[in-house]
Amino acid sequence: MSTAQGIIGNRYRIERSLGEGGMGQVFLASDILFQHKLVALKLLKERMAENQSIRRRFDQEIRVCAALSSINIVQVTDSGFTEDGYPYYVMEYLEGRSLSSVLIEEGRLEPDRAIKIAIQICSGLQVAHEGFEYQGRKVSIVHRDLKPENIFLVESGMGELVKILDFGIAKVCSEMQVAGSLIAETQQGLFLGTAHYSSPEQIRVEPIGPTSDIYSLGVMLYEMLSGLDPFGLTAEGNMKMQAWMRCHLSRPPIPLREQPDCQHIPASLEAIVMRCLEKSPDRRFPTALALAAALQTAFGDTSLGLTAPIAKKARLPWLWIVGALGAIVLAIGFVIWALTFSPKQECTFEQEPNCYCEKNPDDPRCKPI
């Protein structure tokens, strides 16, 4: 990366590296045109820049994240090219931890916390699966790489806020299965994803839909609640990718409540998790919204404090509060306007002589005697 004084796009000053993935490097940067606000800047790796398929996939990630409007999906705010011609994009800077780090440090999570996280993931997924209009077609997005590393937890005034990251290998689908230049090229028979969390149909490189993401979320929810893999495997040692694949394809998952110290988990919650892990897509929850509703119902809204429904654009409960307060402020403003600027009846000499005479000084009745 060659940039003048570490500045990209004449706007973003590189502060330090935050990490890197398969395609790009992520940097902490400050926006020198906007009060040095901290942002995250993702830059395509130089060695990947000549690979046209990788560049198209990177471009797709930019387009997808910029088009999806959800508080539970990381937001893209800008994109461009460096002086050397390498593409980059700018995201909101998040301070927190990945779900992967949380599970490594804390092991299993309390059921209420796990479900709150899962419901927010559902909120983001619902927005992605519903998609957006692109070149006259309805386009829906399947993430295809849901895993704890791609779920980020941010502390907020209302508790943990979940952000879904990395749509780099997302599957773009439309009613005609094409979406112009938006679709990234996928080689026939090439598996894309993370074997540990991939659905059976994804492993078989078959057509996939939203229920593939439901399966991946089911694996994560199982691990959040039990601290264990659904098939009794472990990531330690020389575990081969093929072992994960065989389990997803043919081995039934261990019932959640049969795992050590999991008998306290409600049977209704276990049933939801196990339904997510069905081998057949038709037997899983049809939508992320349906899964979120089942989680709320099974565990009880009052115990979780989750009373607001999942909205199409992933509004969290506090947004409803802000909206209500805004409506109250508007109402008060209208009353004040009405009292101040609404027309009044003309005053009469008989009822308000001072008022009348100020407006009608030529009236003989207003002349001093």
Catalytic residues: 145
Task: Assign 177 to helix, strand or coil.
Answer: coil
CB 111 within 8 A of CB 154: no
Nearest to 291 by CA among 315, 314, 275: 275
In a 3-state reduction of DSSP, which class is residue 278? coil
Q: Is 60 exposed, middle or buried (0-12, 13-18, 19+ CB in 10 A)?
A: buried
The residues with which 364 forms a beta bridge, in sequence order, are none
Which tokens in the block code for residue 182? Answer: 């938006």
Residue 30, token pair as written in the block: 């400050």
Instruction: Return the structure tokens found at 367.
Output: 């002349």
Residues 199 and 60: their CA atoms lie apart, in Å, by: 22
- Reduced to 3 states (helix: H, G, I; strand: E, B; else coil), residue 329 is helix
3-class SS of residue 171: strand
Residue 233 CA: distances (Å) to CA of 30, 191, 257, 283: 43, 21, 17, 24
In terms of Cβ atoms closer than 10 Å to its own Cβ (0-12, 13-18, 19+), residue 62 is buried
Contacts of 128 (CB under 8 A, 6+ apart): 64, 68, 70, 73, 140, 141, 142, 143, 164, 167, 170, 213
Count of C-beta atoms within a 10 Å radius of residue 217: 26
The rounded distance, in Å, linking the Cα atoms of 51 and 54 is 5
